[in-house]
Amino acid sequence: GESVGLHLPTLSVQEGDNSIINCAYSNSASDYFIWYKQESGKGPQFIIDIRSNMDKRQGQRVTVLLNKTVKHLSLQIAATQPGDSAVYFCAEARVAQKLVFGQGTRLTINP
Amino acid sequence: GAVVSQHPSWVICKSGTSVKIECRSLDFQATTMFWYRQFPKQSLMLMATSNEGSKATYEQGVEKDKFLINHASLTLSTLTVTSAHPEDSSFYICSAQTAYGYTFGSGTRLTVV
């Protein structure tokens, strides 16, 4: 079936640096994309979303970029902090329909 | 904001018994609820979609007779794992569709011994 995948399963960055997490999706009909953060033993926490009529959206310290031509999604975290350590998932859906999650990237922060 | 309360947060049961997991929408009506399962170091895999007042739609490969889903009201959806076996040990998470997107429960860690 169709799925959303990630290029890197793990990412290690220095505290204060910027982090970039990538995601490739395969369903060209998807029009809604979300990034989630998951800490151990907890449910996913919403970070930021973007609809297919946009190619960039910014939040507090986070930016999501969408490239529909190559079906690629990325999450940029500015000035990475220890509290950013977690697993990050991208998810895609057609609006108001089921979410499909990617594999996940574990982000670790080096002091 | 929209909050989904999921209980229990963890449960240990004996092999062959059944376990019920509840998800309640606290401040909104959840017409649609999604149930996911997550094995260690893996992603969330959608098991089924439940709509209030109708039968759940199960994903391919998910046994509907083993994972019973009930969504009898707009604020409560339940997942019952029947005749649980050690391979059913996993992290189960519900998610409700809201006017603003999706909101998740805190998850239930099921351990079958």
Q: What is the pLDDT of residues A82-108, one digit of tens each?
A: 999 999 999 999 866 889 998 899 999
- Decide if A19 contacts A84 (C-beta within 8 A): yes
pLDDT at A6: 41
> Consecutive 10-residue runs of chain B (113 residues): their mean pLDDT?
92 97 93 93 92 90 95 92 97 91 94 97
Residue of A nearest to B110 (CA): A41
pLDDT at A1: 32
The Cα B90–Cα A68 span in angstroms is 34
pLDDT at A20: 97
Query: A37-46, pLDDT tens digit by residue?
Result: 999 889 999 9
The Cα A32–Cα A76 span in angstroms is 18
The Cα A15–Cα A106 span in angstroms is 15
Nearest alpha carbon to residue A81 among A36, A19, A23, A37: A19
pLDDT at A4: 53
Q: CB distance A34–B102 less than 8 Å?
A: yes
Q: Give the residue with greater pLDDT, A106 vs A6.
A: A106
Residues A54-71 have a mean pLDDT of 96
Q: Which two tokens stand for residue A52?
A: 């297919």
Residues A31-39 have a mean pLDDT of 95
Residue with tokens 């998910």: B62
Q: CB distance B106–A43 less than 8 Å?
A: yes
Q: CB distance B60–A1 less than 8 Å?
A: yes
